[in-house]
Amino acid sequence: MRLDRLLASSGLGTRSQVRDKIAHGGVSVNGTVVTDASLHVKDTDSIIYDGHEISCQTKLYYLLDKPDGVLTAMEDKRLPCVADYIPSELMSRKLSPVGRLDYHTSGLLIITNDGELSHRLQSPRYEVPKIYLATFRGPEWTENEISTVASGFTINDRGYSEKIAPATLEMTFPSSDGMNRALLTLREGKTHEVRRIFAHFDREVTALRRIGLAGINISRDTDSCGTFRPLTENELGCLLKATAMTAG
């Protein structure tokens, strides 16, 4: 990535401000003062800006706890979208959400500019576990139904047959508000898959929250909705491990 772009997108100023700083000898790369704003820098370079070391990570990894009523999109003319939760200085870093949560689903969404990781997290090949907490209308799940879900089954709600991969369903107890809740772990990501599985068994999902992905877990309650933060090293490690990738 170009040095001026990296500095500006790290929140150190506008492109012209950081170019000015570079031109006046205020920036060094690997111990040498540089005056060429178009210099390409790597993740491993050590950059000092105005006497302070700055992170020059080109690959960025964030977690958004998406609120209900937000589109999984980087731009929308009418509706709130995930880009509204991303600080403006990061907008030039080509971040995008990994997969999508429905407009009315809250919870864990990874936001990154690492295309390979994003691709692998969504690929059925790696069977990355995604845990959903579903509040639903209808009876508790029977042992029979739970074992059908565990074996995988065929759904035909769109006029053609589709295979639903084996998934893990657990009822949760107790529910203080009297609503039925269940945890469903999917290892693939078909559109509206949780809602469709519940509908197939005559239950209606009334609220849906993703609380886990590849070993990263977030709170079951919705107090943290709207939080946008960098992944911890440990969390990034979980994603890399789940997708057979290595750091860097």
CB atoms within 10 A of CB 102: 16
Closest distance to ligand URA from the beta carbon of 184 (Å):
9
Q: Any residues with CB less than 8 A from the CB of 197 and at least 6 apart, and which?
A: 149, 155, 164, 167, 184
Q: Considering beta carbons, is residue 106 or 243 the nearer one to ligand URA?
A: 106
Shortest Cβ distance from residue 241 to ligand URA (Å)? 23
Which of 20, 68, 84, 102 is flagged as catalytic?
102
Classified as helix, coil or strand, 104 is coil
Region from 109-117, 167-175, 187-195, 233-241 binding ligand URA, contact rule CB under 6 A: 187-195
Determine the Cα–Cα distance for residues 36 and 122; give it in Å rounded to an integer. 39
In the numeric block, which tokens belong to residue 218? 């977030």
Q: Which is nearer to ligand URA, 47 or 194 (CB)?
A: 194
For residue 202, count other CB atoms closer than 10 A to its CB.
Answer: 10
Q: Which residues contact 240 (CB under 8 A, 6 or more apart)?
A: 117, 246, 247
| Interface pattern 206-225 for ligand URA (x via CB under 6 A) | --x-----------------
Contacts of 142 (CB under 8 A, 6+ apart): none
Q: How many residues bind ligand URA (CB under 6 A)?
A: 8
Q: Which of 94, 105, 118 is nearest to 65 (CA)?
A: 105
Nearer to ligand URA, 58 or 185 (CB): 185
Between 89 and 103, whose beta carbon lies closer to ligand URA? 103
Is 131 among the residues that bind ligand URA (CB under 6 A)? no
Shortest Cβ 118–ligand URA spacing (Å): 16
48: left (phi over 0), alpha (psi -120 to 50) or beta: beta
Residues 6+ apart with CB under 8 A from 67: 106, 222, 225, 226
Residues between 78 and 117 with contacts to ligand URA, criterion CB under 6 A: 101-102, 105
Exactly one of 5, 181, 195, 209 binds ligand URA (CB under 6 A); which one?
A: 195
Residue 114 a catalytic site member: no
**C-alpha of 190 from chain center:** 16
Minimum gap (Å) between residue 149 Cβ and ligand URA: 14
Nearer to ligand URA, 93 or 195 (CB): 195
Residues annotated as catalytic (active site), given as ranges: 102
Binding site for ligand URA (CB under 6 A): 101-102, 105, 192-195, 208
